[in-house]
């Protein structure tokens, strides 16, 4: 289990990043209409995002925005953009609600 603050250190590797979703945002006007689950701090200073493309939103049987404020684990290949880490999520199997004590 990797905290969002440390995810960038694991760029290029498969991993499971777990933390509280500080902000869930559907970027309807952006290319690909992605939904972002920002973790590891308040947007825009967060350290990690789960990115779900608009084409994959329908794979989830619930509104992704409902995850805001919940602790989740995101499973997949960790990639790094200019300032933070990201995992591209395409199916519900890569996104789990977590019970972290």
68: phi > 0 → left, psi -120 to 50 → alpha, else beta; which? beta
Q: Is CATH 2.30.30 what the domain over 4-95 is classified as, yes or no?
A: no
DSSP sequence for 34-48: -EEEEESSSTTS-SE
pTM score of the predicted model: 0.93
pLDDT digits (tens, 9 = 90+) for 54-100: 999 999 999 999 999 999 999 999 999 777 999 999 999 999 987 65
pLDDT at 37: 97
Question: Average per-residue pLDDT in the chain?
Answer: 93
Domain boundaries, the chain: 4-95
> What is the tens place of the pLDDT at every residue in 3-18?
999 999 999 999 999 9
As a whole number of angstroms, the distance between CA 77 and CA 46 comes to 18
**What separation in angstroms does the CA of 14 have from each of 17, 63, 75, 94?**
10, 26, 7, 11
């Amino acid at each position: 289990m990797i905290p969002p603050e440390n995810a960038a250190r694991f760029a290029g590797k498969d991993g499971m990043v777990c933390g509280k979703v500080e902000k869930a945002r559907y970027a309807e006007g952006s290319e690909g209409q992605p939904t972002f689950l920002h973790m590891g701090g308040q947007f825009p200073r967060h350290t990690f995002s789960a990115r779900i493309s608009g084409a994959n939103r329908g794979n989830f049987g619930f509104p992704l925005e409902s995850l805001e404020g919940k602790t989740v684990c995101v499973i997949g290949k960790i990639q790094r953009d200019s300032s933070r880490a990201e995992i591209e999520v395409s199916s519900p199997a890569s996104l789990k609600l977590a019970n972290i004590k």
